[in-house]
Structure 1
Amino acid sequence: RAAEIAILDTIASDTQRLLLALLPDEEKGQAAEFEPGQYLEILVPGTEARRAYSLANNTNWDGHLEMIIRHRPGGLFSGYLSNAKPGERLWVRGPLGTFTLRENGLRPRWFIGGGTGVVPLISMLRRMADWGEAHPARLYFGVRHSEELFFTEIIEELQQQLPQLQVKLCVSRPKAHEHNYAGNVVETLKGDLAAMTASPDCYICGSARLVQGVTETALDHGVPVAQIYSERFIPA
């Protein structure tokens, strides 16, 4: 599908929010339909290469597709975005992926994301808020430095919409004066899993190292493997 850049702004250290608007299509309409947790592939302008990015928003009739892009040295698409402007056209393919919410009654849902790996988890929480779902829920958002945090206002709004949602912003390398953050996300999770009363469904997204560390920690604390869902991000 063809889409135009509607908004492109910086929201954290080396991190941009990209909002695309699908162009009207006589056959497919304009609505953006996908499951929270899915992703799109974007054709990098001037190349045959595609890059995959998770969606942060939810299905909507306006054709809006929201993604968070972390700039990486030599990154093909993030390099393009450095000079991109609203109104430019891109081609997208999707939705793709099976990292989506599972219906398992009212079992607790714990969402653990590292860096931009929190993006599909925000989409899942937005769906829960839109549908008024009552599952006990926790969000662990892990970064190295506080400057890498983003969507904090959106997370606060989600807490208002989902009173049962507990949030821990996990900064592994805080500054000397920063005492309001939890530490390393895996270590923080260990303590909470040790005190849990019911095994949660764990939704994990981030680097291969984070996914492995969180998965091993969950298994070590008795979470059944069937209740662990994950997706690894590969820098590109």
Structure 2
Amino acid sequence: MIHLQIDLNQAMEFDAGQFVMIQVPGVAGFRGWSMVNYQRHAETLNFVVKKKPGGGISEWLFNNQCEGVEVELFGPLGRATFYPSLAKNILCIAGGSGIAGMMSILSRAAQDGYFTQYKGDVFFGVQTMKDAFFLHEFSQLRAQCGDKLNITIALSREDAPASALADYPQLAFDKGFVHEVAGRHMQDRYQNVRAYLAGPPPMVDAAVRILLQARLTTDNICYDKFS
């Protein structure tokens, strides 16, 4: 996983949760990446990119000196967006690099003091602690937003080590697939909720099933599924 920043030729307006399509020199086609950051009139876009064996753009990023290279952008795109006027509790379920768009949503919500009035529940799924990232940023958000924002790291292959509990006391940890962990923690807590999902398609599909079984309406389940 790498953190990537793209400096724009001109400022871009985008909504929290959106993505752009990116094309790099020498690689055919575009790849969709969700923005991590949120600023009005953004002059830079931040991303997290997971190394995908055989992926053209992924291989290019990880195997080349990319600093200063000009890339082509198309966007912003995407409907899984957040606005402070939403007036609902927020549920975010993300796997791996799918957390990127959620960070943009949380950033805007925190900037607007959204969690002084509404609740937020974030479930971030990775396989092991060594795969986890943004833990420091999550802790800062939790400290900034208070008890109405709860963040749980779901580890599918191991229990959280004692060192993680000590290093990140603001966060919760649980074992299991992220959609299953979210389902357990959110039981009977879906009143006035808007859910945002992102991650591998099987994870998104499984999360949608859990939310529909919990009687969350389809207009309150938001995702842009990438294959």
Shorter-chain TM-score category? Answer: 0.7 to 0.9
Residues 20 and 76, structure 2, Cα contact 8 Å, conserved in 1: yes
Residue 152, structure 1, aligned to residue 135, structure 2:
yes
Q: Which amino acid aligns with 1:101?
A: F
1:129 aligns with 2:106: no
Q: Percent of aligned pairs with the same residue? A: 26
Aligned to 1:186: 179
Q: Is the 8 A contact 1:199 1:222 kept in 2?
A: no
Q: Give, in whole Å, the separation in 2 of the partners of 1:41 and 1:60.
A: 19
Structure 1 Cα separation of the partners of residues 84 and 160 of structure 2 = 42
Moved over 6 A (4+): none
Q: Is 1:21 the counterpart of 2:10 in the alignment?
A: no
Moved more, 151-160 or 172-181: 172-181
Aligned to 2:205: 212
Residue 124 of structure 1, CA deviation: 0.3
Structure 1: stretches of 5+ with no match in the other structure: 1-14, 24-29
Q: In the alignment, residue 73 of structure 2 is paired with which amino acid?
A: V
Q: Is the 8 A contact 1:202 1:228 kept in 2?
A: yes
RMSD value, Cα = 2.0
Cα distance in 1, alignment partners of residues 160 and 185 from structure 2: 25
Partner of 1:26: none
- Listed one character per residue, the Cα deviations across residues 36-95 of structure 1 (whole Å, up to 9, x for unaligned) are 111111112113411111111013445101011100111111111121232222121111
Matched, 1:70 2:50: yes
SS of residue matched to 1:138: strand
Gapped regions of structure 2 (runs ≥ 5): 166-172
**3-state SS, counterpart of residue 80 of structure 2:** coil
**Structure 1's 32 and 105: CA in aligned 2 closer, same or farther, altered over 3 A?**
closer
Alpha-carbon distance, 1:209 to partner: 0.7
Structure 1 residue 98 and structure 2 residue 91: aligned? no
Say whether residues 1:171 and 2:155 are aligned partners.
yes
Q: 1:139 — aligned with what?
A: 122
The answer as to 2:66 corresponding to 1:80 is no
TM-score norm. by structure 1 comes to 0.83
TM-score, structure 2 as length reference:
0.86
Query: Aligned with 1:160: secondary structure?
Result: helix
SS in 1 for 2:71: strand
Does 2:79 match 1:109?
Answer: no
Task: Check the 8 A contact 2:21/2:33 in 1, yes or no.
Answer: yes
Matching of residue 32 in structure 1 with residue 12 in structure 2 = yes
Q: Aligned residue pairs: how many?
A: 214
How many angstroms does 1:172 deviate by? 0.6
